[in-house]
Structure 1
Amino acid sequence: MNLTNKSILITGGTGSLGKALTERIFNTYPNVKRLVIFSRDEQKQFLMAQEYPVDKFPAIRFFIGDVRDRERLIRAMDGIDYVIHAAAMKHVHLAEYNPSECVKTNVNGAENVIHACLETNVKRVVALSTDKACAPINLYGATKLTSDKLFVAANGIKGNRDIRFSVVRYGNVMGSNGSVIPFFIKKRAEGFLPITDLNMTRFNISLSGGVDMVLHALKHAWGGEIFVPKIPSYKITDVAKAIAPNIEQREVGIRPGEKLHEAMITSSDSYNTYDLGKYYTILPTVLNWDLDEFIKVFDAKKVPEGFRYNSGENDEWETVESLRALIKEHVDSNFTL
Structure 2
Amino acid sequence: MLNGKKVLITGGTGSFGKKFIKMILADYPEVERIVIYSRDELKQFEMKQNYPHSEYPQLRFFIGDVRDKARLTRACEGIDVIIHAAAIKQVDTAEYNPTECIRTNVDGAENVIDAALTCGVKDVVALSTDKACAPINLYGATKLASDKLFSAANNIKGSKDIKFSVVRYGNVMGSRGSVIPFFMNKKEEGILPITHDEMTRFNISLEDGVRLVFFAIENALGGEIFVPKIPSYKILDVAKAVAPDCEIKIVGVRPGEKLHEEMITESDSLNTIEMEKYYAILPSVSFVHKREKFLEHHNAKLVPFGFKYNSGENTEWETVDTLREKIKTYVDPNFEA
TM-score, normalising length from structure 1?
0.99
Give, in whole Å, the separation in 2 of the partners of 1:324 and 1:167: 30
Q: Partner residue of 1:181?
A: 180
Counterpart of 1:297 in structure 2 is 297
SS of residue paired to 1:160 = coil
Once residues 229 and 292 of structure 2 are traced to their aligned partners in structure 1, the CA distance between those partners, rounded to angstroms, is 23
What letter is aligned with 1:232?
A: P
Q: Which amino acid aligns with 2:234?
A: K
Specify the SS of the correspondent of 2:198: coil
What is the CA-CA distance between 1:84 and the residue it aligns to? 0.2
Alignment partner of 2:174: what SS? Answer: coil
What's the counterpart of residue 219 of structure 2?
Answer: 220
Paired with 1:279 and 1:107, the residues of 2 have a C-alpha distance of 26
Name the CA distance, whole Å, in 2 between partners of 1:71 and 1:63. 13
Aligned to 1:156, the other structure's residue is in SS state: helix
Give the whole-Å Cα distance in 2 for the aligned partners of 1:168 and 1:281: 9
Hey, what does 2:35 align to over in structure 1? Answer: 36
Give the equivalent residue in structure 1 for 2:307: 307
Q: Could you tell me which residue of structure 1 aligns to residue 168 of structure 2?
A: 169
Q: Secondary structure at the match of 2:83?
A: strand
Following the alignment from structure 1 to structure 2, what is the Cα–Cα distance between the partners of residues 304 and 41?
A: 45
Partner residue in 1 for 2:318? 318
1:309 is displaced (CA, Å) by 0.2
Letter in 1 for 2:318: E
> Is 1:255 aligned to 2:264, yes or no?
no
TM-aligned CA deviation for residue 28 of structure 1: 1.1
Number of aligned residue pairs: 336
Q: 2-side partners of 1:218 and 1:169: how far apart?
A: 14
TM-score (norm 2): 0.99
CA deviation after TM superposition for structure 1 residue 255, in Å = 1.3
* Cα offset, 1:109, TM superposition: 0.4
Percent identical:
65
The more displaced of 289-298 and 261-270 is: 289-298
Q: Which residue of 1 aligns with 2:267?
A: 268
Give the equivalent residue in structure 2 for 1:56: 55
* Separation in structure 2 between the aligned mates of residue 198 and residue 291 of structure 1, nearest angstrom: 41
Shift of 1:292: 2.3
Unpaired runs of 5+ in structure 1? none
- How far 1:116 sits from its partner (Å)? 0.5
Cα drift, residue 293 of structure 1: 3.4
Q: Find the aligned partners of 1:132 and 1:290 in 2 and give their Cα distance.
A: 28
Structure 1 residue runs of 4 or more that deviate by more than 6 Å after TM superposition: none
Aligned-residue RMSD, C-alpha? 0.7
Q: Which residue of 1 aligns with 2:6?
A: 7
Aligned-residue offset at 1:286: 2.2
Amino acid at match of 1:322: T
Q: Which amino acid aligns with 1:209?
A: D
**How far 1:291 moved relative to its partner?**
3.0
